[in-house]
Amino acid sequence: MFNSFAQSVYFAPRGKGRIMHLGNDLAQAYLSPDDQLVGLVGDAGAGKSLLIRGMFPGVTLTNDDNGINIRPLPVLEDAEHNEFNTHTYHVDARFETAFTQPWRLAEAIEEALVHGRRVVIEHFDLLADHLEIDADLLVGIGEEVLITRPGVFGPSPQEVADIVFKSIRYRRMAHTAEDLITKILWEEGLEKPTYHSDVKSGFVLQFEDKPGFDFSELEAKVKDIIAQDIRINFHDDKHIRVGENIYSCQGPRIHVKRTGDIENFKLVKDLKYDPNTNRYLLAGLVGTERSQFELSHN
């Protein structure tokens, strides 16, 4: 069958629920029952495991952010016994290559595929050269989520990795700036956003009621915190630590290390009303690669 699908691009959301929901949407739109080898590429903390949970509900992750590690690795153990009891296996290549030679992992994965099983591999770029076949479906997550079916002419896992590893810095900057705004609004008792969404190299805050605060003043306060270069740390799955203070956060692993790492922050002070949702939208941007959103509002 002729397949003309090349690549689709989505904004990479922030927050556990939104990433898993996107994973479910990707599975519905792109995953075929015949897909056996699924690769994911992206930096640590980008959201690969959450995408997998959304795409493959019920799959057992062999290691996760809570420090749960399944030993021995199921696909390796089943390959040794030549008895594959699981339909879908998960492998974190970065973690597993610390214990097992890449060629040995590749052999076990290929054995599972021969037996009609599916294998989902995080950090697929680290194993690609040791596998004799391409991924049926390749997903990269950085600032955006790229989903493609690699062919003879690419894209290669390394090409996808080059894109997402470079761009995730904008997602981290945008998320940190977004949380700084929410922090200021909360501390000053001002209107807080009800929902969050995305634009390229930025974010959108959605308000049920038209906010009455001064946008220029809010922007100046965020820039002041950025200038202070305050340390940002992961606290737990629902909180970050900004300096000595702890704040609620839906994506605590997607942040810059210090507020001073946020580049060229600005608010787009053209507040928009969305009649479809009855919400007021306020956008913020970071970095130097300005989006069409900003160009169309200047």
- What are the residue boundaries of the structural domains of the chain, listed by start? 7-155, 169-295
Whole-angstrom distance, CA of residue 145 vs CA of residue 19: 10
Among 161, 204, 132, smallest CA distance to 46 is for 161
What sign does the dihedral 169-265-194-269 (CA atoms) show?
negative
Q: Which pLDDT score, from 0 to 100, does residue 15 have?
A: 81
152, pLDDT greater than 60: yes
For residue 171, what pLDDT is reported?
94
pLDDT at 29 > cutoff 60: yes
Helix axis angle for 215-228 and 157-187, nearest 10°, is 110
pLDDT of residue 67: 57
Structure tokens at 234: 């992961």
- Averaged pLDDT for residues 189-197: 87
The pLDDT score that the predictor gives to residue 295 is 45
pLDDT tens string 37-85: 999 999 988 999 999 999 999 998 987 665 567 788 999 999 999 999 9
Backbone angles phi, psi at 202, to 5 degrees: -175, -160
What does the angle CA 128 – CA 15 – CA 147 come to, to the nearest 5 degrees?
35
pLDDT per residue as tens digits for the range 154-170: 799 999 999 999 999 99
Burial 176-192 (b: 16+ CB within 10 A, else e): bbbbbbbbbbeeeeeee
Topology of the domain comprising 7-155: Rossmann fold (3.40.50)
| Cα distance between residue 138 and residue 161, in whole Å | 11
Confidence of residue 294 (pLDDT cuts 50, 70, 90): low
Domain 169-295 matching CATH 3.30.565.10: the answer reads: no
- Short-list 65, 46, 285, CA closest to 144: 46
Best CA proximity match to 122, nearest among 192, 203, 34, 62? 62
Asked if 252 contacts 196 with a C-beta cutoff of 8 angstroms, the reply is no
Interval 263-278: pLDDT, tens:
999 999 889 999 999 9
Alpha-carbon dihedral of residues 162, 125, 238, 286, nearest 10 degrees?
A: 0
Please check whether residue 255 is in contact with residue 265, taking contact to mean a CB–CB distance below 8 angstroms. no
Structure-model confidence comparison of residues 242 and 296, the more confident one: 242
